[in-house]
């Protein structure tokens, strides 16, 4: 990709960027949220047309007007937010667009055989007949990878592929990528996680605010050097925090049972715990062990089967979401698109979603636009939310990391007694993670209660004052982060051990 420039209203997403990919290499693309990584890859995949610049494949200049052209050239892409049809089966999603038909009828037998062979060969185990709406995020990603392999692509673009995966799934994905490389496939790999780049990439190109900063050989660089290139300063990888001083109980959960959407069993089975003022309690576990449903029950997104939830001593088990919000609960959801934002609203409207009825923002049922705008501008400034047209930017057009910052700004600024933070740094760059960790610790130090749900073990160990491990819908252990190890947590997370019963 030579001298690519791509502009959007108010922003130059890519400014004269050159990127060269060799055959049989894993090439990482690193940069802050909004640095232009996804835009550059979308240009290569034909989703956007650049204003300037050319693309060459095997030395020949090519025109990529749409993703079909990209596929014809052997270029495939796994997007950060998966592009799957939820009500279709896994097999239907894989063959969508390249179906084999005879007389207008679909012929799936050969397709099924090819998909099963590919999944066997690359260790991408999937159930071809499962509906996409019923499978885990890790499984959805396998479907996206199989879509590329089914089309015989030899240039594979992975946009933030590990943002939604568990540590075990990340290791599997790294192995799969190494396998592709050995076969001579070329991989472009967008990530924020420096450890992953150091583990699998051969070279890394760094973008900063739309410009290419440089390309480095991974064998000759360090994590610190990469983070300096990316954010232009040294980054603290460890979280600075003083010992916790817990106060009164803010959240009390007693024998909570929440049903599962996917199968007939309950997803949360009799869970009890407390979170006190001035402490960060983390629920750790491998995805799919009931953490999501626990949060849905606590925040009112799902009705609970039985048990009680108390906030500041008040029973809120069957309270509405707005009541919980008014009573002092804030929620940073795991799915920012589904539960965090109204994507076609402006950034300003999204920032007052839970407060627009307050006197500060409305008068006799009419919203005070000026008050909303100045409030939004203050949060944008304070949280460094980057967007092309400031408060008037449509949320959908912002980068994933900046969408996340906007949600965090809204939820923390409500000054809650309890902050429920689910995967708060998913898909964020090291500079933004450092900032958000400081925000969460600052909330704790102000005497707020924080319930953190995270799959990132580094984050769990760094931020928590207490760790609860969930396995198959139950809490199987409680730990002090200063007295445990990642390996020990891993055993409990995988169900190999339980507190209270010595189990090999």
- Are 408 and 432 in contact by the 8 Å Cβ rule? The answer is no
Span 72-116, pLDDT tens digits: 999 998 887 778 898 999 999 988 888 888 888 888 888 899 989
Are residues 276 and 370 part of one domain? no
Range of the domain at 212: 2-231
Report which of residues 476 and 499 the model is more confident about. 476
Q: Is the pTM of this model over 0.85?
A: no
Are residues 153 and 16 part of one domain? yes
Mean pLDDT of the chain: 88
Q: Say how far apart CA 436 and CA 239 lie, in whole Å.
A: 10
For residue 352, give both structure tokens: 């007052």
Are residues 364 and 314 part of one domain? no
Give me the mean pLDDT over the 54-68 stretch. 93
Are residues 504 and 443 part of one domain? yes
What is the band of 502 on the pLDDT scale with cuts at 50, 70, 90? very low
pLDDT value for 121? 83
Q: Say how far apart CA 352 and CA 184 lie, in whole Å.
A: 50
Are residues 464 and 315 part of one domain? yes
Span 286-307, pLDDT tens digits: 777 899 999 999 999 999 999 9
Domains in the chain, number: 3
Burial 467-481 (b: 16+ CB within 10 A, else e): bbbbbebebbbebeb
Whole-number Cα distances in Å, 184 to 178, 323, 499: 10, 57, 47
Are residues 435 and 405 part of one domain? no
Are residues 272 and 255 part of one domain? yes
Span 328-337, pLDDT tens digits: 999 999 888 8
| Partner residues linked to 76 by β-bridges | 156
Residue ending a domain, among 395, 415, 435, is: 415
What is the band of 195 on the pLDDT scale with cuts at 50, 70, 90? confident
**Residue 473 sits in a domain of what CATH number?**
3.40.50.300
Are residues 165 and 50 part of one domain? yes
What percent of the chain clears pLDDT 70, i.e. is strictly above it? 97
Are residues 152 and 6 part of one domain? yes
Residue ending a domain, among 372, 398, 415, is: 415
Evaluate if residue 500 carries a pLDDT over 70: no
Residue ending a domain, among 197, 231, 265, is: 231
């Amino acid at each position: 990709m030579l001298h690519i420039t791509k502009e959007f209203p108010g922003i130059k997403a890519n400014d004269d960027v050159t990127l060269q990919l060799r055959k049989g290499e894993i090439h990482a693309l690193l940069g802050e949220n909004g640095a232009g990584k996804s835009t550059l890859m979308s240009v290569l995949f034909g989703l956007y047309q650049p204003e300037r610049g050319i693309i060459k494949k095997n030395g020949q200049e090519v025109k990529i007007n749409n993703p079909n052209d990209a596929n014809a050239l052997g270029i495939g892409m796994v997007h950060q937010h998966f592009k799957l049809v939820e009500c279709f089966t896994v097999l239907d999603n894989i063959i969508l667009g390249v179906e084999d038909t005879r007389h207008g009828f679909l012929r799936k037998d050969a397709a099924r055989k090819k998909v099963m062979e590919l999944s066997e060969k690359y260790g991408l185990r999937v159930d071809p007949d499962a509906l996409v709406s019923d499978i885990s995020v890790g499984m959805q990603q396998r479907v996206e990878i199989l879509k590329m392999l089914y089309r015989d692509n030899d240039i594979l673009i992975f946009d933030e592929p590990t943002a939604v995966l568990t540590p075990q799934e990340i290791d599997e994905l790294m192995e799969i990528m190494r396998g592709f490389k050995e076969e001579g496939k070329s991989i472009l790999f967008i990530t924020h996680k420096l450890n992953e780049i150091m583990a699998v990439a051969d070279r890394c190109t760094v973008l900063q605010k739309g410009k290419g900063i440089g390309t480095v050989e991974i064998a000759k660089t360090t994590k610190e050097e990469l983070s300096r290139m990316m954010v232009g300063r040294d980054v603290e990888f460890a979280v600075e925090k003083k010992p916790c001083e817990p106060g009164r109980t803010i959240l009390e959960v007693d024998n909570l049972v929440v049903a599962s959407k996917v199968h007939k069993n309950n997803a949360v089975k009799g869970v009890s715990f407390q979170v006190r003022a001035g402490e960060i309690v983390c629920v750790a576990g491998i995805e799919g062990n009931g953490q999501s449903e626990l949060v849905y029950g606590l925040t009112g997104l799902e009705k609970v089967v039985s048990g009680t939830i108390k906030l500041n001593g008040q029973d809120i088990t069957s309270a509405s979401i707005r009541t919980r919000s008014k009573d002092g609960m804030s929620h940073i959801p795991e799915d920012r698109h589904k539960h965090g934002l109204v994507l076609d609203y402006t950034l300003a409207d999204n920032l007052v979603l839970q407060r627009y009825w307050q006197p500060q923002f409305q008068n006799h049922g009419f919203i005070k636009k000026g008050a909303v705008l100045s409030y939004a501008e203050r949060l944008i400034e304070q949280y460094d939310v980057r967007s092309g047209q400031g408060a008037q930017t449509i949320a959908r057009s912002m980068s994933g990391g900046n969408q996340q910052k906007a949600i965090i700004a809204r939820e923390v600024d409500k000054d809650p007694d309890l902050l429920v933070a689910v995967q708060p740094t998913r898909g964020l760059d090291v500079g933004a993670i450092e900032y958000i960790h400081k925000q969460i610790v600052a909330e704790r130090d102000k005497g707020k209660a924080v319930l953190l749900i995270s799959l990132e073990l580094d984050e769990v160990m760094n931020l928590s004052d207490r760790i609860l491990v969930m396995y198959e819908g139950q809490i199987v252990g409680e730990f002090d982060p200063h007295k445990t190890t990642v390996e020990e947590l891993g055993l409990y997370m995988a169900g190999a051990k339980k507190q209270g019963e010595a189990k090999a």
